Amino acid sequence: MEILYANCCGLDVHKKTITACIITPKGKELRTFGTFTADLLDLADWIKAKDCTHVAMESTGVYWKPIYNILEQYDLKEILVVNAQHIKTVPGRKTDVKDADWSANLLRHGLLRGSFIQNREQRELKELVGYRKSLVDERAREVNRIQKVLEGAGIKLASVATDITGVSGRAILDAIVSGIDDPKFLASLSKGRLKNKR
């Protein structure tokens, strides 16, 4: 089988460890690294010191992200994040062969297809937007919980206030939490358009 890339590295990425296999014309070398930043920098330095030009990593979840972020600064020709299922369907896999070794061999012969990875700015923006969405969703769940507690206590604040976490709603909730239960006083805390619903 034709060798397309002389110096290749295969990575089998897990939550706490990374098994790395480098294959060069001089032979094969296996090492295991941790997943803290210092470990990842050691891994990247080792890959660069061995003149590796192509890296393939098999990873599930998000464990590939910090490795990819570091490796892309090392001026490698190609970094592939490979679907684990794709590696397992390539014929010839032996059960006693390490995943990292197998990944490096497949990569060396051009048999791996990488997943689409956006550029760093797009990845960071996607994470930021995703985090913002999760915060908005969590806030909505908390507001629903507050409304449920109020309804259970017979307090119909949501029936008159469009947003119970608005200025008026918060003032009324703060007063209730402080122990005030006089309906007239609570109604007097309404501001803006809510004044018309006292």
**Phi/psi at 22 (5° precision):** -110, 130
Whether residue 164 is found in the same domain as residue 106:
no
Whether residue 20 is found in the same domain as residue 108:
yes
pLDDT along the chain (198 residues), means of 10: 77 90 89 93 93 86 89 88 67 56 78 78 91 94 91 83 86 91 86 73
For the stretch 109-150, pLDDT in tens is 777 777 778 888 888 899 999 999 999 999 999 999 999 998
DSSP 55: E
* Residue 33 in domain: yes
Number of domains composing the chain: 2
Whether residue 140 is found in the same domain as residue 192:
yes
Whether residue 56 is found in the same domain as residue 126:
no
What pLDDT score does 85 carry?
64
Q: The domain spanning residue 110 has which CATH number?
A: 3.30.420.10
pTM over 0.85: no
* H or E segment to which residue 32 belongs: strand 27-33
* Residue 2 in domain: no
